[in-house]
Amino acid sequence: MSTVIEPKTEGEGDFLLTKSVTFNNPAKIASYASNEGFVTKVWGQKAAPTTKVSESLDYEAPQNKLFYERMNAKGGKKKLWGYTGHTMAKFLVTFAVGVITGCFAVALSKCVSILISSKLLFIQNQMTLYEEDPAMAAFIGLLWFVLFGGIMVSIATSMVQYWAPASAGAGVTLVMAYLNGNHIPNLLRFSTLITKFVGTVFAVSSGLPMGPEGPMVHIGACVASVITYMDFKYLTSGKLFGRLKVKEIAIKERLKVLDEIVSDSDHREFVSAGVSAGIAAAFAAPIGGVLFSMEEACTFWSKKTAWRCFICGALSVYTVQIINPALGDGAIPLSNMTPLTIREWAEQLPFLLVDFAMAGLLGAAFNSLRMWLWKVRAAKTLHLQRIAEVIGLVFLVGSCAFFFASTAGKCLELPPTWEEDGYGVRFLCPEGQHNDLATLFLSNTHETIIALFSMGKGSAVPGSETFVPYFSIGSLALYTACYVVLMSIGAGLAIPGGLFMPSIVVGGCWGGMWGYVIKDLIPSWKVQPGIYGMLAATGVLGSVFRSAISLVVLMVEGTRGVDYIFGIILAVVVANYVANFIHHDGVYESELERVGNVYMLQSDPPSRLNTLTTESIMATGVKGFRPIESLVTLLEVLATTSHNGFPVWSEGSDVESADLKTEGSASEDEGCRRLEGIITRSQLLVLLQRRHFVDAHGNPVGREFSEGYELELETEMRTFFRRYYTHCRYISATRQPLESLSLDNGGLAAVDLNSLYLDLRPYMNRSPVTVRKECAASRAHQVFVNLNMRHLFVVDSHNHVVGLITRKDLDHAAGHGWWRMSHQAEPPRNKMVLQIMKFPTSGVTFFKNLVGSSKGGSHSEHASGNHMTVVTDNGTSNLDQQHH
pLDDT value of position 63: 79
pLDDT value of position 206: 93
Contact indicator for 749, 698 with CB cutoff of 8 Å: no
pLDDT value of position 750: 57
Hey, which CATH number is domain 89-595, 1.10.760.10, 1.10.510.10, 1.10.3080.10, 2.60.40.10?
Answer: 1.10.3080.10
Contact indicator for 575, 357 with CB cutoff of 8 Å: yes
Contact indicator for 690, 702 with CB cutoff of 8 Å: no
- In 3D space, the residue among 861, 857, 856 whose CA is nearest the CA of residue 876 turns out to be 861
Give every CB contact of residue 772 below 8 A, 6+ residues apart in sequence: 614, 794, 795, 796, 797
Contact indicator for 319, 102 with CB cutoff of 8 Å: yes
pLDDT value of position 82: 56
Give every CB contact of residue 350 below 8 A, 6+ residues apart in sequence: none
* Domain residue spans of the chain: 89-595, 607-883
d(CA 42, CA 557): 46
Contact indicator for 444, 203 with CB cutoff of 8 Å: no
Where residue 16 falls (left for φ over 0; alpha for ψ -120 to 50; beta otherwise) is: alpha
Predicted TM-score (pTM) of this structure: 0.86
pLDDT value of position 884: 31
Question: Residue 864 CB: number of other CB atoms within 10 A?
Answer: 8
If one looks up domain 607-883 in CATH, what number appears?
A: 3.10.580.10
Question: Residue 21 CB: number of other CB atoms within 10 A?
Answer: 15
pLDDT value of position 73: 64
In the predicted model, residues of the chain with pLDDT beneath 50 are 1-12, 30, 232-255, 653-669, 745-746, 831-884
Bridge partners, residue 496, by sequence = 169
Q: Is the dihedral of CA 281, 282, 285, 289 positive or negative?
A: negative
